[in-house]
Amino acid sequence: MKAQMDILVIDDEPVITRAVQKVCAAEGLSVDIEEGGAAGLSRLKSASYRLIICDLMMPGVGGGEFLAEAARMGVRTPVIIATGYATLENAVISLSHGAIDFIPKPFTAEELLAAVRRAISCDRLKQECETAPPGALPPSCAPCPPLYYRLGSLSWAKVESEGSVVVGAGGLFLEAIEPIKTIELMKPGEETLQGAPCAAAISAAGDRHPVLCPISGRIAEVNTRAAADPALSVKDPYLEGWLYRLLPTNLQAELGHLTASGGGTP
Amino acid sequence: MKENWLKNIWLSTGTGFKLTLVVCATALLTISIFAYVNIRTHSASLLAEVERHANQLSESVRLSTEYDMLLNHRERLHESIRRVGNQRSIQRIRVMNKTGMIIYSSDAAEIGRMVDQKGESCYMCHAAGRPLERLEIKDRTRVYRPGPGASRILGTITPIYNAPSCWTAACHAHPKEKVVLGVLDVTMPLAEVDKDIRRGQLEIAVFALSAILALSLITGFFVRRLVAAPVAELVEATRRIAGGELGHTIPERADDELGLLAKSFNNMTHKLSEARLQLVQSDKLASLGRLAAGVAHEINNPLTGVLTYSSFLLKHTQDRPDLQEDLKIIVREAIRSREIVKSLLDFARQSVPRKAEADINSIIGHTEAVINSQLALNKVKVVRELDPSLPKVKADASQLEQVFMNLFVNAADAIGPAGGVITVSSSVLKLPPSAVAQVRKALCPKRHSLIDAGTPIAGKPSVRLKVTGGGAEGFLHLSALYGAGGQLCNLPSGAAGPDKFACPECGTSLNNKGVPCPACGGPTYAFEAPPWGLLEGCAVKGCGWQRWQGADDAGHLEFVELRVSDTGCGIEQENLQKIFEPFYSTKGQKGTGLGLAVIWGIIDNHGGTISVESKVGAGTTFIIRLPVSA
């Protein structure tokens, strides 16, 4: 029988792991600490967790290898990748390798807790979708349509015939934050980078959840309906609830970092 | 072997020396020929003069004695010949009869002696064996030297012909058949003439030699001054520049070819040093990028500690308002540090800033509030001269805050412990379109692009038109800077200016029909230059009139100009251009040398410019211009 703890934090910097432990413990979450990927993997053999927070750049087994090895071991615990802004591209790639979310360092206590809560509730929703009887699927289990590209379950991009790209937040991502008070959007003409926050969903509790942009580009159009009514994006995240129309700057290379949607559950 | 040796010497000497040598050799040759011909002419004319004189004298003697001969007055004849022959310029006068016997002579001792027909005085007539009966005037004289070392002598033979009075006279001394009765032989010494000739030769030779010498010296002097010295300067400059001293310039003396060469050489080295600077700059930026990535990675973990703990404390001490204020500042500044690390990475990967409508005055105000207590400690007073009507600028507020923070800290450092004043001002600047408008797109009626990046003018892609003028076809390249007048045309230089314009791709005419140039009346072209519509212009050389109505109508382009001045120590002129380079620092160990390079990158990313003015001891002013409509 594996011991059930809430969170496993893996980072080679003690100051990070202690800080995460302190912040999470104050919210009533139990936290285990490991200082390397290999130690973390062996810990997973004897204990199970609701969430793992793993650094991307570590000596020995890094975040990427950790993800691959955990998947091979059949570990289904969601993993949040924490990394510096310098390795944005690696973070984006880690999302396509099964990480549930990505949190850029340095982060505040609020940002960390928002990501933790979002990941836990997102994982719960995923399990509900898998276990629910086929006829009684909750609306948040609506699949990401075919020909869409996903940045994990956080956001999506759809290439239009003219070469522009429509982007929006993922259904599960929004559902996990519910209820959403407002969605903060950027303005037309502004530029955004793949993996950088391009919008923020503010929950009723006041938590700020950044929407990471799936594609770099200049914003050509903003969905004013979604800005005015956050519920629209939650209800129909993949069609009516889109956020931006972008003029991409590096589309082909960036699509390779995303997951092509087969129409299944995100 | 010897030839090679000469060749080596020739190759190893300087151009100036060679040029001088060639000029001298030419002078030597021409002046020598001239002198030689001159000497010969001079000698010949002197001799001819003596000859003429001798012939005249002989004739006079013959005529004056003829009557005495006819009357056979031998004594009188004798006396006449003796008197005439005693003149200094005459050596001797004698009369010989047909048999060669000397009948009369100014030298009485000779009379009655026989002359050998092979002798010098008989040679002319008797050379052919049979005596000549007629002797031309020019053949009557001869020049000979009586003995070795003696001076030359000129002799004139005048034949005494038989005349009717000779055979009809009472004495009947001469039969009628005889043609020549005898000869009159006058000889004159040439010592004086020879002396004249020698003096003339000497004079000409001296003149020739001094002319050659003077010509050589003058040529040498001017070649040295006009060719050798400037060339030596060029050689020295190339050597220095090859050695890496790119700032070296050659004094531009004159407007001749060498002056032009010096000018273009200076221009070239200037361009070279600019290019190198840019290369070094981009190289440094690349290393800066690597460094920034490393720094960002290293600094992220401690910063995460600060940010997480402080935000955690802030959240859990809401019952302690005394702590809340301080904690808020810690969290805010930690987040600002995070933004700085991010922008450093953005700068390193040349990413675009996150721009939004920003009020520069409030950014300045906010920055000043953050740093004010520190400035006050250093006895630095901040004077704000902000224009309240300043338009908003699309900018990344966080990055601009960093720019002002950096400039304030630099200014405070420059002011030092004695204290001083930082003046920060903002104002609106309007620049006319002709000063800044640039043609970025140019289209023919069939939407072909006329922009030619391959032939840049003043560093910017030019506009290319196909032109016809004077029957020849060619291309006209126009400067992309509106109204700058820069153009290149490869029509033959002799041909008339272009009068037909067309698209180089489809040949559609670009002639601005019915619109002569308002400045010079010449033919004009017109093409569409988005976003400001039709651009018209004149291709007449020296006119270069252009009208871009849309750009003119768009009015002045607006910039926000921001100045940060201090009363600090100032920056030396030679260091001014270096201060924006990465890793350049005047603060020694205190600074990283990255601050101004980062600022430069931020302003550049905003489409703006930053420049600096400074006076040592008086202070430094940084001037930032940000476009309002960007």
Domain boundary among A99, A131, A163: A131
Could you give the CA distance from residue B598 to residue B403 in angstroms, rounded to a whole number? 8
pLDDT, residue B120, reads: 67
Which residue in B296, B308, B356 is closest to A85 by CB distance? B296
CB-based contact A106 B297, cutoff 8 Å: no
The predicted-structure confidence for A53-100, as pLDDT tens digits, reads as follows: 999 888 888 888 999 999 999 888 999 999 876 567 778 888 888 899
Could you give the CA distance from residue B130 to residue B533 in angstroms, rounded to a whole number? 112
pLDDT, residue B270, reads: 79
DSSP conformational letter for B443: B
Nearest alpha-carbon partner for B381 in B391, B365, B368: B368
Residues of B in contact with A85 (CB under 8 A): 296, 300, 341-342, 345
**Which residues of chain B are under the pLDDT cut of 70?**
1-3, 11-12, 117-121, 123-125, 127-135, 137, 169-173, 275, 278-279, 281-286, 346-355, 432-437, 456, 458-460, 484, 493-496, 555, 577, 581-594, 629-630
What residues does CATH 3.30.450.20 cover in chain B? 72-192
Could you give the CA distance from residue B402 to residue B198 in angstroms, rounded to a whole number? 98
Q: Show the tokens assigned to A61.
A: 């087994």
User: What's A147's domain CATH number?
Assistant: 2.40.50.100
Q: Where are the alpha helices (DSSP H) in B106-155?
A: 123-126
Residues of A in contact with B315 (CB under 8 A): 109-110
Q: What are the backbone dihedrals phi and psi of residue A140, each rounded to the nearest 5 degrees, phi first?
A: -70, -10
Contacts of B320 (CB under 8 A, 6+ apart): none
pLDDT, residue B351, reads: 44
pLDDT, residue B106, reads: 82
How many angstroms separate the CA of residue A185 from the nearest CA in chain B? Answer: 12
Q: Where are the alpha helices (DSSP H) in B173-320?
A: 191-223, 229-242, 257-316
Name the residue of chain A whose CA is nearest to B337's CA: A106
**B372 vs A: CB within 8 A:** no
How many angstroms separate the CA of residue A131 from the nearest CA in chain B? Answer: 37
DSSP conformational letter for B438: B
CB-based contact B297 A57, cutoff 8 Å: yes
Please tell me the total number of residues recorded for chain B in this structure. Answer: 630
| Residue B107 to residues B89, B91, B103, B157, B187, Cα–Cα distance (Å) | 15, 9, 11, 17, 12
Name the residue of chain B whose CA is nearest to A187's CA: B356
CB-based contact A110 B315, cutoff 8 Å: yes
CATH architecture of B72-192: 2-Layer Sandwich (3.30)
pLDDT, residue B461, reads: 74
Contacts of B268 (CB under 8 A, 6+ apart): none
pLDDT, residue B47, reads: 87
What is the count of structural domains for chain A? 2
User: What's A10's domain CATH number?
Assistant: 3.40.50.2300
pLDDT, residue A266, reads: 43
The verdict on residue A266 lying in a domain is: no
What is the domain extent for residue A47?
Answer: 3-131
Burial class, A231, CB count within 10 angstroms (exposed 0-12 / middle 13-18 / buried 19+): middle
What residues does CATH 3.30.565.10 cover in chain B? 358-432+556-627
The predicted-structure confidence for B557-581, as pLDDT tens digits, reads as follows: 788 999 999 998 888 887 876 787 6
Nearest alpha-carbon partner for B419 in B387, B358, B378: B378
pLDDT, residue B580, reads: 76
Q: Show the tokens assigned to A247.
A: 């003029």
Q: Is residue A124 domain-shared with residue A173, that is, in the same domain?
A: no
Nearest alpha-carbon partner for B234 in B218, B252, B250, B210: B250
Q: What are the backbone dihedrals phi and psi of residue A77, each rounded to the nearest 5 degrees, phi first?
A: -65, 135
| Residue A159 to residues A149, A197, A248, B86, Cα–Cα distance (Å) | 9, 20, 9, 135
**B8 vs A: CB within 8 A:** no
Which residue in A23, A87, A190 is closest to B356 by CB distance? A190
Across the beta sheet with B102-105, what order do the strands follow? B102-105, B92-97, B180-189, B153-161, B141-144
Q: Is residue A148 domain-shared with residue A243, that is, in the same domain?
A: yes
Three-class DSSP category at B175? coil
* Mean pLDDT score, A135-164: 80
CB-based contact B315 A109, cutoff 8 Å: yes
Three-class DSSP category at B104? strand
Question: Three-state SS string across B346-379, please?
Answer: HHHCCCCCCCEEECHHHHHHHHHHHHHHHHHHCC
Under a CB-based contact definition with an 8 Å cutoff, are residues B598 and B579 in contact? no
pLDDT, residue B313, reads: 92
Which residues lie across from A169 on neighbouring strands?
A: A155
The verdict on residue A137 lying in a domain is: no
The verdict on residue A136 lying in a domain is: no
Burial class, A37, CB count within 10 angstroms (exposed 0-12 / middle 13-18 / buried 19+): buried
Which residues lie across from B562 on neighbouring strands?
A: B426, B624
Under a CB-based contact definition with an 8 Å cutoff, are residues A183 and A200 in contact? yes
Q: Number of residue pairs across A and B with CB atoms under 8 Å?
A: 78
Across the beta sheet with B546-547, what order do the strands follow? B524-528, B534-538, B546-547
Could you give the CA distance from residue A251 to residue B427 in angstroms, rounded to a whole number? 40
pLDDT, residue B352, reads: 45
Contacts of B14 (CB under 8 A, 6+ apart): B228, B231, B232
Provide the CATH number for the domain formed by B246-351 in this structure: 1.10.287
Nearest alpha-carbon partner for B117 in B132, B135, B134, B138: B132
Under a CB-based contact definition with an 8 Å cutoff, are residues A249 and A218 in contact? yes
Domain boundary among A96, A131, A166: A131
Under a CB-based contact definition with an 8 Å cutoff, are residues A103 and A209 in contact? no
| Higher pLDDT pick, A255 / A10 | A10
pLDDT, residue A156, reads: 93
Name the residue of chain A whose CA is nearest to B349's CA: A86
Could you give the CA distance from residue A187 to residue A245 in angstroms, rounded to a whole number? 11
Which residue in B312, B331, B356 is closest to A23 by CB distance? B312
The verdict on residue A265 lying in a domain is: no
Enumerate chain A positions whose Cβ falls within 8 A of a Cβ in B.
Answer: 13, 15-16, 19-20, 22-23, 26, 57, 84-87, 105-110, 112, 187, 189-191, 193
Please tell me the total number of residues recorded for chain A in this structure. Answer: 266
Three-class DSSP category at B8? helix
CB-based contact A15 B305, cutoff 8 Å: yes
Q: Is residue A147 domain-shared with residue A77, that is, in the same domain?
A: no
Contacts of B472 (CB under 8 A, 6+ apart): B491, B492, B495
Give the strand pairing for A165-169 and A244-248: antiparallel
What ipTM describes this predicted complex?
0.84
Fold for the domain defined by B358-432+556-627: Heat Shock Protein 90 (3.30.565)
pLDDT, residue B307, reads: 93
**Given its phi and psi angles, is residue B327 left (phi above 0), alpha (psi -120 to 50 degrees) or beta?**
alpha
Query: B321-348 and B257-316 are packed helices; what angle lies between their axes, rounded to 10 degrees?
Result: 150
Name the residue of chain B whose CA is nearest to A20's CA: B308
The predicted-structure confidence for A179-212, as pLDDT tens digits, reads as follows: 889 999 998 877 788 888 899 999 888 889 999 9
**B 342-371 near A (Cβ less than 8 A):** 342, 345, 351-352, 354-356
Q: Is the pLDDT of residue A115 over 90?
A: yes
Q: Is residue A124 domain-shared with residue A180, that is, in the same domain?
A: no
To the nearest 5 percent, what fractions of chain B are helix, strand and coil? 45, 20, 30
pLDDT, residue B561, reads: 92
The verdict on residue A246 lying in a domain is: yes
pLDDT, residue B435, reads: 55
| Higher pLDDT pick, B62 / A250 | B62
Domain boundary among A110, A131, A152: A131
CB-based contact A109 B341, cutoff 8 Å: no
Torsion over CA: B586, B592, B593, B597 (sign): negative
How many angstroms separate the CA of residue B344 from the nearest CA in chain A? Answer: 10
Angle at the Cα of B528 from the Cα atoms of B523 and B529, rounded to 5 degrees: 115
Contacts of B61 (CB under 8 A, 6+ apart): B80, B81, B84, B93, B158, B184, B186
What residues does CATH 1.10.287 cover in chain B? 246-351
pLDDT, residue A264, reads: 46
